[in-house]
Amino acid sequence: MTASLEIADVTFAYPDGHAALRDVKLCIERGERVALLGPNGAGKTTLVLHLNGILAAQQGSVTVAGLAVEKPNLREIRRRVGIVFQDPDDQLFMPTVGEDVAFGPANFGVTGADLHARVDAALAAVDMVEHRDRSPLNLSGGQRRRVALATVLACEPEILVLDEPSSNLDPVARRELAEVLLRLDATMLMVTHDLPFALQLCPRSIVLDDGAVVADGPTRELLADEELLRRHRLELPYGFVLS
Protein backbone atom coordinates (compact mmCIF):
# COMPACT_ATOMS: atom_id res chain seq x y z
CA MET A 1 0.00 0.00 0.00
CA THR A 2 1.28 3.47 -0.92
CA ALA A 3 2.33 5.58 2.07
CA SER A 4 0.25 8.64 2.91
CA LEU A 5 3.33 10.86 2.95
CA GLU A 6 6.89 10.41 1.74
CA ILE A 7 9.53 13.10 2.10
CA ALA A 8 12.82 12.21 0.44
CA ASP A 9 16.02 14.21 0.95
CA VAL A 10 14.23 17.57 1.08
CA THR A 11 16.44 20.62 1.37
CA PHE A 12 15.22 24.23 1.42
CA ALA A 13 16.86 27.59 2.10
CA TYR A 14 15.18 30.99 2.27
CA PRO A 15 16.40 33.86 0.04
CA ASP A 16 18.52 35.25 2.87
CA GLY A 17 20.50 32.01 2.83
CA HIS A 18 19.01 30.51 5.99
CA ALA A 19 18.91 26.72 5.57
CA ALA A 20 15.49 25.82 6.98
CA LEU A 21 15.45 22.14 5.96
CA ARG A 22 18.45 19.89 5.56
CA ASP A 23 18.11 16.55 3.78
CA VAL A 24 14.82 15.70 5.54
CA LYS A 25 13.60 12.12 5.11
CA LEU A 26 10.43 10.67 6.59
CA CYS A 27 7.59 8.34 5.69
CA ILE A 28 4.13 8.18 7.25
CA GLU A 29 2.03 5.12 6.50
CA ARG A 30 -1.72 5.25 6.07
CA GLY A 31 -3.52 5.42 9.37
CA GLU A 32 -0.45 6.47 11.39
CA ARG A 33 -0.68 9.29 13.92
CA VAL A 34 2.67 11.06 14.16
CA ALA A 35 3.75 14.08 16.21
CA LEU A 36 6.29 16.52 14.79
CA LEU A 37 8.21 18.00 17.70
CA GLY A 38 10.95 20.58 17.88
CA PRO A 39 11.88 23.99 19.31
CA ASN A 40 10.88 27.29 17.72
CA GLY A 41 12.83 27.83 14.53
CA ALA A 42 13.45 24.13 13.97
CA GLY A 43 11.82 24.13 10.52
CA LYS A 44 8.45 22.55 11.40
CA THR A 45 6.32 25.21 9.71
CA THR A 46 8.61 25.26 6.67
CA LEU A 47 8.21 21.51 6.34
CA VAL A 48 4.41 21.71 6.60
CA LEU A 49 4.34 24.35 3.84
CA HIS A 50 6.06 21.84 1.54
CA LEU A 51 3.24 19.34 1.98
CA ASN A 52 0.70 21.32 -0.04
CA GLY A 53 3.06 23.11 -2.40
CA ILE A 54 3.15 26.57 -0.80
CA LEU A 55 6.91 26.07 -0.70
CA ALA A 56 8.82 23.87 -3.17
CA ALA A 57 11.83 21.78 -2.27
CA GLN A 58 15.10 22.95 -3.78
CA GLN A 59 16.35 19.37 -3.56
CA GLY A 60 14.47 16.15 -2.93
CA SER A 61 10.79 15.33 -3.31
CA VAL A 62 7.46 15.18 -1.47
CA THR A 63 4.69 12.75 -2.41
CA VAL A 64 1.19 12.39 -0.96
CA ALA A 65 -0.41 8.97 -1.55
CA GLY A 66 1.99 8.51 -4.45
CA LEU A 67 1.16 11.87 -6.05
CA ALA A 68 4.13 14.22 -6.41
CA VAL A 69 3.74 17.66 -4.88
CA GLU A 70 4.35 19.52 -8.12
CA LYS A 71 2.58 22.36 -9.90
CA PRO A 72 0.34 20.24 -12.18
CA ASN A 73 -0.95 18.33 -9.13
CA LEU A 74 -1.42 21.19 -6.67
CA ARG A 75 -5.23 21.35 -6.76
CA GLU A 76 -5.54 17.66 -5.91
CA ILE A 77 -2.66 17.83 -3.41
CA ARG A 78 -4.41 20.65 -1.54
CA ARG A 79 -7.51 18.48 -1.25
CA ARG A 80 -5.46 15.52 -0.03
CA VAL A 81 -3.46 17.51 2.55
CA GLY A 82 -5.89 19.00 5.06
CA ILE A 83 -4.18 21.60 7.25
CA VAL A 84 -5.92 22.74 10.44
CA PHE A 85 -4.31 26.02 11.44
CA GLN A 86 -3.50 27.03 15.00
CA ASP A 87 -5.93 29.96 14.87
CA PRO A 88 -9.50 28.99 13.85
CA ASP A 89 -10.01 32.56 12.59
CA ASP A 90 -7.79 31.60 9.65
CA GLN A 91 -10.43 29.06 8.54
CA LEU A 92 -13.81 30.31 9.77
CA PHE A 93 -15.24 33.23 7.81
CA MET A 94 -18.77 32.30 6.70
CA PRO A 95 -22.01 33.37 8.45
CA THR A 96 -22.78 29.89 9.84
CA VAL A 97 -20.94 26.77 10.90
CA GLY A 98 -22.61 24.73 8.15
CA GLU A 99 -21.56 27.18 5.45
CA ASP A 100 -17.98 27.16 6.71
CA VAL A 101 -17.84 23.37 6.59
CA ALA A 102 -19.42 23.30 3.12
CA PHE A 103 -17.02 25.86 1.66
CA GLY A 104 -14.07 23.53 1.08
CA PRO A 105 -15.79 20.59 -0.61
CA ALA A 106 -17.96 22.99 -2.66
CA ASN A 107 -14.75 24.61 -3.91
CA PHE A 108 -13.60 21.16 -5.05
CA GLY A 109 -16.83 20.61 -7.00
CA VAL A 110 -19.04 18.72 -4.53
CA THR A 111 -22.69 19.79 -4.81
CA GLY A 112 -26.26 18.92 -3.80
CA ALA A 113 -26.99 15.90 -1.64
CA ASP A 114 -23.33 14.85 -1.66
CA LEU A 115 -22.29 18.22 -0.24
CA HIS A 116 -25.00 18.07 2.44
CA ALA A 117 -23.86 14.58 3.41
CA ARG A 118 -20.21 15.72 3.63
CA VAL A 119 -21.18 18.55 5.98
CA ASP A 120 -23.30 16.25 8.14
CA ALA A 121 -20.54 13.66 8.41
CA ALA A 122 -17.84 16.20 9.24
CA LEU A 123 -19.92 17.90 11.94
CA ALA A 124 -20.87 14.53 13.43
CA ALA A 125 -17.19 13.54 13.55
CA VAL A 126 -16.39 16.56 15.74
CA ASP A 127 -19.61 16.50 17.85
CA MET A 128 -20.91 19.79 16.44
CA VAL A 129 -24.06 18.78 14.51
CA GLU A 130 -26.39 20.81 16.72
CA HIS A 131 -24.37 23.97 16.01
CA ARG A 132 -24.77 23.82 12.23
CA ASP A 133 -26.84 27.03 11.96
CA ARG A 134 -24.93 29.08 14.54
CA SER A 135 -22.39 31.76 13.80
CA PRO A 136 -18.82 30.63 14.51
CA LEU A 137 -18.35 33.96 16.29
CA ASN A 138 -20.69 32.79 19.05
CA LEU A 139 -18.87 29.55 19.80
CA SER A 140 -16.29 28.84 22.49
CA GLY A 141 -12.63 28.50 21.59
CA GLY A 142 -12.77 24.71 21.79
CA GLN A 143 -15.89 24.55 19.64
CA ARG A 144 -14.32 26.82 17.05
CA ARG A 145 -11.25 24.58 16.95
CA ARG A 146 -13.48 21.55 16.28
CA VAL A 147 -15.42 23.38 13.56
CA ALA A 148 -12.11 24.31 11.90
CA LEU A 149 -11.25 20.62 11.99
CA ALA A 150 -14.62 19.79 10.41
CA THR A 151 -13.96 22.21 7.52
CA VAL A 152 -10.93 20.09 6.63
CA LEU A 153 -12.55 16.69 7.25
CA ALA A 154 -15.35 17.60 4.83
CA CYS A 155 -12.79 17.59 2.00
CA GLU A 156 -11.89 13.96 2.86
CA PRO A 157 -8.11 14.51 2.94
CA GLU A 158 -5.49 11.79 2.63
CA ILE A 159 -3.53 13.24 5.54
CA LEU A 160 -4.62 15.57 8.33
CA VAL A 161 -2.02 18.13 9.44
CA LEU A 162 -2.68 19.81 12.79
CA ASP A 163 -0.74 22.94 13.75
CA GLU A 164 -0.55 23.25 17.55
CA PRO A 165 -4.10 21.88 18.00
CA SER A 166 -4.16 22.15 21.81
CA SER A 167 -2.83 25.71 22.10
CA ASN A 168 -4.92 28.15 24.15
CA LEU A 169 -7.52 25.51 25.07
CA ASP A 170 -8.78 25.06 28.60
CA PRO A 171 -8.51 21.53 30.07
CA VAL A 172 -12.07 20.51 29.15
CA ALA A 173 -11.78 21.74 25.56
CA ARG A 174 -8.38 20.04 25.28
CA ARG A 175 -9.87 16.73 26.46
CA GLU A 176 -12.84 17.05 24.09
CA LEU A 177 -10.55 17.70 21.14
CA ALA A 178 -8.35 14.74 22.07
CA GLU A 179 -11.41 12.46 22.21
CA VAL A 180 -12.47 13.61 18.74
CA LEU A 181 -9.00 13.13 17.24
CA LEU A 182 -8.60 9.67 18.74
CA ARG A 183 -11.85 8.57 17.11
CA LEU A 184 -10.81 9.66 13.62
CA ASP A 185 -9.70 6.97 11.22
CA ALA A 186 -7.22 9.25 9.49
CA THR A 187 -3.53 9.62 8.85
CA MET A 188 -2.37 12.44 11.07
CA LEU A 189 0.69 14.67 11.40
CA MET A 190 0.48 16.85 14.49
CA VAL A 191 2.88 19.76 14.94
CA THR A 192 2.99 20.57 18.64
CA HIS A 193 4.98 21.82 21.62
CA ASP A 194 2.47 20.08 23.92
CA LEU A 195 4.42 16.91 24.72
CA PRO A 196 1.71 15.27 26.89
CA PHE A 197 -0.82 15.85 24.09
CA ALA A 198 1.59 14.24 21.63
CA LEU A 199 1.95 11.27 23.98
CA GLN A 200 -1.82 10.92 24.32
CA LEU A 201 -2.54 11.01 20.59
CA CYS A 202 0.51 9.89 18.65
CA PRO A 203 2.29 6.56 19.12
CA ARG A 204 5.19 7.85 17.02
CA SER A 205 7.07 11.14 17.13
CA ILE A 206 9.66 12.85 14.97
CA VAL A 207 11.98 15.49 16.42
CA LEU A 208 13.13 18.21 14.02
CA ASP A 209 15.88 20.65 14.99
CA ASP A 210 17.92 23.07 12.93
CA GLY A 211 16.12 21.79 9.83
CA ALA A 212 17.07 18.13 10.27
CA VAL A 213 15.37 15.03 11.66
CA VAL A 214 17.30 14.21 14.84
CA ALA A 215 15.04 11.49 16.28
CA ASP A 216 12.20 9.27 15.07
CA GLY A 217 10.60 6.63 17.26
CA PRO A 218 7.92 5.70 19.77
CA THR A 219 6.71 8.85 21.50
CA ARG A 220 6.99 7.40 25.00
CA GLU A 221 10.62 6.39 24.44
CA LEU A 222 11.59 9.80 23.05
CA LEU A 223 9.91 11.66 25.91
CA ALA A 224 11.69 9.43 28.44
CA ASP A 225 15.08 10.46 26.98
CA GLU A 226 15.93 13.45 29.17
CA GLU A 227 19.17 14.15 27.33
CA LEU A 228 17.39 14.20 23.96
CA LEU A 229 14.79 16.65 25.27
CA ARG A 230 17.41 18.88 26.86
CA ARG A 231 19.60 18.90 23.75
CA HIS A 232 16.74 19.98 21.51
CA ARG A 233 15.04 22.42 23.90
CA LEU A 234 11.96 20.32 24.55
CA GLU A 235 10.46 20.15 28.01
CA LEU A 236 7.69 18.23 29.74
CA PRO A 237 5.44 20.27 32.06
CA TYR A 238 6.67 20.63 35.65
CA GLY A 239 5.52 17.64 37.68
CA PHE A 240 4.48 15.55 34.66
CA VAL A 241 5.48 11.93 35.13
CA LEU A 242 5.51 9.36 32.33
CA SER A 243 3.33 6.49 33.51
Task: Give the pTM.
Answer: 0.94
Distance of CA 241 to the CA centre of its chain: 26
Assign 239 a pLDDT band (cuts: 50, 70, 90). Answer: confident
pLDDT higher than threshold 90 for residue 102: yes
pLDDT higher than threshold 80 for residue 243: no
Per-residue pLDDT at 241: 86
Per-residue pLDDT at 46: 95
Per-residue pLDDT at 200: 96
d(CA 175, CA 169): 9
pLDDT higher than threshold 80 for residue 190: yes
Q: Residue 203 is which amino acid?
A: P
In a domain, 239, yes or no: no
Q: Is the sign of the CA dihedral 222, 160, 208, 241 positive or negative?
A: negative
pLDDT higher than threshold 90 for residue 2: no
> Between the CA of residue 116 and those of 11, 108, 177, what are the distances in Å?
42, 14, 24
In a domain, 236, yes or no: no
Per-residue pLDDT at 213: 97
**Percent of the residues in the chain that have a pLDDT greater than 90, as a whole number:** 93
pLDDT 10s digits, 15-56? 998 999 999 999 999 999 999 999 999 999 999 999 999 999
pLDDT higher than threshold 90 for residue 226: yes
d(CA 143, CA 139): 6
- Please compute Rg for the chain using Cα positions: 18
Assign 238 a pLDDT band (cuts: 50, 70, 90). Answer: confident
pLDDT 10s digits, 133-184? 999 999 999 999 999 999 999 999 999 999 999 999 999 999 999 999 999 9
Cα-Cα-Cα-Cα torsion 14, 21, 151, 188, nearest 10 degrees, comes to 180
CB 214 within 8 A of CB 22: no
Q: E strands of the chain, at which residues? A: 5-13, 19-28, 33-37, 59-64, 67-68, 81-84, 159-163, 187-191, 204-209, 212-218
pLDDT higher than threshold 90 for residue 242: no
In a domain, 237, yes or no: no
Domain extent for 67: 5-231
In a domain, 242, yes or no: no
In a domain, 201, yes or no: yes
Per-residue pLDDT at 25: 96
Counting the structural domains of the chain, the total is: 1
> What b/e string do you get for 4-43 counting C-beta neighbours within 10 Å, with b at 16 or more?
bbbbeebbbeeeeeeebbbebebebeeebbbbbbbeeebb
pLDDT higher than threshold 90 for residue 197: yes
| Residue 202 burial (CB count, 10 A) | 23
In a domain, 107, yes or no: yes
In a domain, 222, yes or no: yes
DSSP state of 190: E
What phi, psi does 40 have (nearest 5°)? Answer: -55, 135
Angle at 7 between CA 5 and CA 125, to 5 degrees: 25
In a domain, 238, yes or no: no
What phi, psi does 44 have (nearest 5°)? Answer: -65, -50
pLDDT averaged over every residue in the chain? 95
Domain CATH number, residue 124: 3.40.50.300
